[in-house]
Structure 1
Amino acid sequence: MTYDNMYLKRHSRSFANGFYRSTKSQVIAETNAGLGLITTELLEKGVDLIRLYEMCSDFRRELKEFGDVYPGRVELFTKDIFHLYRYAFIDKQDNGNRVEALLQGVSKRNWSDEPVMTIIGTMCNLYFLKYLIKSLVLQTGPTLYGRIKLFALMRPRDYAVLSATPKDNRVAYSAWAVLFNLFLDYDVLYEFPRKMFFPWDSKLKKTSYPNNYEVDKMYLVHINFKNELPVPINQLLPLYYFIKQFYGRGTPQIIPTVEKWVPDSGLNVLLPKTKHFDYYCPMGIFTTFRELKPHQILFVFKEMVNHPAYPGSPFRDMVENEMAKSETIETCLAEATFEKTVRGDLKEKLNND
């Protein structure tokens, strides 16, 4: 056995120990399962049923043998569940049911209950997390089942966005960084050498992301939706739109902008009517959105929507227009660098349907 194989097995075993202790009465899944090292450890620990999502036909041939060794305890799917947003887009085009098929057997629970599903896998980008948050905002898709928990292997640059603060540069501290921090809890469990993962990068480039994260590492990150939403369900879309608008072009100042959206609400933001822990101080007419931490941004939003002028404000009309454009998650695809690939998949009907 090579050193790398021993290293992989050792960490698969230690990871499975913690993973198994954290999952009860929910669907357990591994996506991009590869050779199934973690799956093997989980099955040996006594997990009753594991569903595997694997797109590579070579790996699927290996994973099919699990059905013989562990009869009735493994379900194998031919797609990557981290690509749910792609399948949702394609389902919209041809009235398919790919998303429903990939989530079959997942029970529905209240948001404050334990997660309905735990997924482990290598996450190549943040599109899946964006899709989950947007589906929650629009009250559609997988988040209607309940909370989903992740054990994601991700690049340090993606974790830099997930954990960004106002002290970081504008590339990292974006609207999505704010949304991630308002909706998700996360922490790094392990660090792994990047060379353990395929495909190997021919050149490891330093990036403009913060905190000098090591580009030759991969992080295992535990991610879970907070069991308490930051605002009531009927205010999720306004909050989403509020944050996205402030993190567009330029560095808009808070007070002039909220005054335009909800007349006379600027005074409430300057002198909040509600007591908030760690409200941004000193708040002034020149304060910009990027100076605030995520929870401070949430406080500003609450002061604005609690103003008496909010129900008939221009901001409400802006949100309704956004709702009309966002009845589906299709707009997520505009942010993806491989939209052409998605449309190609639609043309080919994904071959594996």
Structure 2
Amino acid sequence: MITLRCSLRLCNGRRIQNVTKCYQSTKAKRAEHAERMSRYGMEFPEKLLTKKLKSAANMYIADAGIAQQINNYLEPHLKESKCDTVLELNPGPGHLTRHLLDRESQFRKLILIESTEHFMPRLQEMHSLYPDRVKVHHGDLVGLHKLAFMDKIDNGMRVADLLCDVPQKAFNEDINMLVLGAVGSYPFFKHLINSLIFQSSLYNLGRCEMMLAMPPPIYIHLTCSNDIGYLIYRSTSVLFQILFEHRFIAKVPRELFLPQQSNFNLSKSSKLLKIKSINPEYLYLVKFKPRRNLHELCPIQDLPALWFFIKQNFVSRRNRIIPNLEKWIPGCGPRLIINQNASEPVTPIYANESVEHLPQYSMQSSTMSTRNYFPGINIYTQFGDLTPSQMLTLFTQFRRWPEYGESSFLASLENTLLKLESVTDEQVLDESVNLAEEDDISSENVDELLEANEEAAPKPAKSRKKTKQTV
């Protein structure tokens, strides 16, 4: 009886503690919500104040203070630009927009694309005040890949209508516009890559430059070196660095953007622990634009072949260069082993950029070369050993071999492009043409980068199944 009474008292004590903790937690949440409502309630809809997301595709600058800070960070970069057109993603209540309007002598056109209906009346007022200078559109530019997919299905004009005010320039001319905003969508960046490769969507209008705030894991994935390991250094990393110049500008507090971010609960067993634990309380303010000499490095007609070459060879983290290439062109191995061409080194694009200032694991943006040979290739050398510039050099070599025109590579490429004609959605692109990478950081499992509860990325087969259900 004594033991039973002690057990009952212990259970009751624990219940009281749990109820107390629950009450205190609820009270704290209510106080936090009340504070947010008093601070932002006049400007933002309640759904942006109540929700906490681990990964938000569209993010908003929460107040005038952080807008001023971002404007200060961007000041030297905006000054050096000769572009007179700015596109702002999700301007919301217009905190950053006011600073752009103040630059009347520089920016003659402001294109505001807003995805939330709540903000449209205020933005329309700006258009009424500056009818010739400010153009307002209701749409989701971050979800541009979805609009492109729907246009493909019904031959619509959604993308063209959303971008109707964007000036058009030739690719080798100066940039046609600046794009500012905050983006947490990984598929958005994959769409930019595919837009460059296939000359469609946004980059069919010109070589626009973007200055965006983004989550650290996405930026590190796009700009990392192969030293980080194959789980992060993937085909998307290689393609992004070949196609774009990029530069890190500054860190900005994530808590000053809406919707707010959920608390991270880092798991020690997570394969991506070292990435997810880097600055989760910040967003990275960065800028990037397509390389002006891209079509000199790789002719426009060969860009799909470059894309397929990199995607196919990075399907597995441990693919070896010579055995893989000999499947397409038998006997090509000795040419790579006995290569006696002098290697052309690459150099940083921004000479005044401090390496110590860069985020952990990310690389300086460098020039690209088609003669940057990997030293000492042998039968054990893996594709993951190559830098993006060395990968471009390897493709250039492969493209120039006399057997290329009759190789099975072109048949595989043609078959893939035929499949893309019926797919074209970046969310299902890799899976539907059997190019899903081993532990790929794809649109289906990007939350493994931004969330901390998953232990490993989904396997390709499972990812393909989910994608088909989505489509």
CA distance in 2, matches of 1:245, 1:41: 45
Q: Distance in 1 between matches of 2:224 and 2:157?
A: 36
Structure 2 residue 321 is the aligned partner of structure 1 residue 254? yes
- Over 3 Å counting, the alpha-carbon distance change for 1:202 and 1:139 in structure 2 is closer
Q: Is the 8 A contact 1:16 1:38 kept in 2?
A: no
8 Å contact from structure 2 (residues 85, 108) kept in 1: no
Aligned residue among 338, 342, 347 for 1:275: 342
TM-score, reference length from structure 1: 0.89
2:229 is the alignment partner of 1:169: yes
Asked if 2 retains the 8 angstrom alpha-carbon contact of 1:108 and 1:145, the reply is yes
Tell me the distance in 2 between the aligned counterparts of 1:329 and 1:37. 39
Aligned partners of 1:268 and 1:303 also within 8 Å = no
Tell me if the contact between 1:157 and 1:209 (Cα under 8 Å) persists in the aligned partners: no
Q: Choose the corresponding residue for 2:280, options 215, 224, 232.
A: 215
| Counterpart Cα distance in 1 of 2:66 and 2:276 | 27
1:185 touches 1:226 (CA, 8 Å); kept in 2?
yes
Give the structure with higher Rg (CA): 2
CA distance in 2, matches of 1:286, 1:299: 19
In the alignment, residue 196 of structure 2 is paired with which amino acid? L
Aligned-partner Cα distance in 1 for 2:274–2:177: 31
Distance in 1 between the 2:373 and 2:275 partners? 25
2:393 aligns with one of 282, 299, 302: 299
1:168 partner letter: I
Partner of 1:120: 180
**1:127, distance to aligned residue in structure 2 (A):** 1.9
2:375 partner SS: coil
- Gap change, CA 1:44 and 1:214, over 3 Å in 2: same
| 1:132-151 alignment runs, 5 A limit | 132-151=192-211
Moved more, 102-111 or 151-160: 102-111
Shift of residue 81, structure 1, vs aligned partner = 1.6
Q: 2:87 aligns with which of 3, 24, 29?
A: 29
Contact 1:204-1:216 within 8 A present in 2 as well = no
In structure 2, relative to structure 1, the CA distance for the partners of 1:244 and 1:340 (3 Å cut) is closer
What is the rounded CA distance, in whole Å, between the counterparts of 2:92 and 2:470 in structure 1?
Answer: 23
| Aligned residues of 1:274 and 1:303 also touching (Cα < 8 A) | no
More displaced 10-residue stretch of structure 1: 124-133 or 20-29: 20-29
Q: Which amino acid aligns with 1:241?
A: F
Q: Hey, what does 1:350 align to over in structure 2?
A: none
Aligned residues: 343
2:166 corresponds in structure 1 to: 106
Kindly tell me: are residues 58 and 22 of structure 1, through their superposed partners in 2, closer, same or farther at Cα, counting changes over 3 Å? farther
**1:151–1:310 distance in 2 versus 1, CA, 3 Å:** same
Q: Indicate the residue corresponding to 2:96 in structure 1.
A: 38
SS class of match (1:213): coil
CA pair 43-340 structure 1, distance change in 2 beyond 3 A? farther
Give 1:70-85 correspondences, 5 Å limit: 70-85=130-145
Residue 117 of structure 2 corresponds to residue 57 of structure 1: yes
**Local SS of the residue matching 1:326:** helix
The one-letter code sitting in structure 2 at the alignment partner of 1:316 is: L
Cα gap change, 1:5 to 1:237, in 2 (>3 Å)? closer
C-alpha separation between the residues in 1 aligned to 2:265 and 2:393? 38
Write the deviation string for residues 9-35 of structure 1: whole angstroms up to 9, x where unpaired: 421441453454244345310011112
For residues 264-343 of structure 1, the aligned pairs below 5 Å read: 264-272=331-339, 274-277=341-344, 278-327=372-421, 330-334=424-428, 336-337=443-444
| 3-state secondary structure, aligned to 1:150 | strand
Q: Structure 1 residues 58-67 or 148-157, which shifts more?
A: 58-67
After TM superposition, give the deviation of residue 126 of structure 1 in Å. Answer: 2.7
2:234 alignment partner AA:
S
Describe the SS at the equivalent of 2:226.
coil
SS at match of 2:72: helix
Among the aligned pairs, what percent are the same residue?
A: 27
**1:172–1:209 Cα contact (<8 Å) kept:** no
Q: Alignment RMSD, CA only? A: 2.6
Which deviations, in whole Å up to 9, do the C-alpha atoms of 1:297-353 show, x marking residues without a partner? 11111111111111101111111111212237724121534979986xxxxxxxxxx
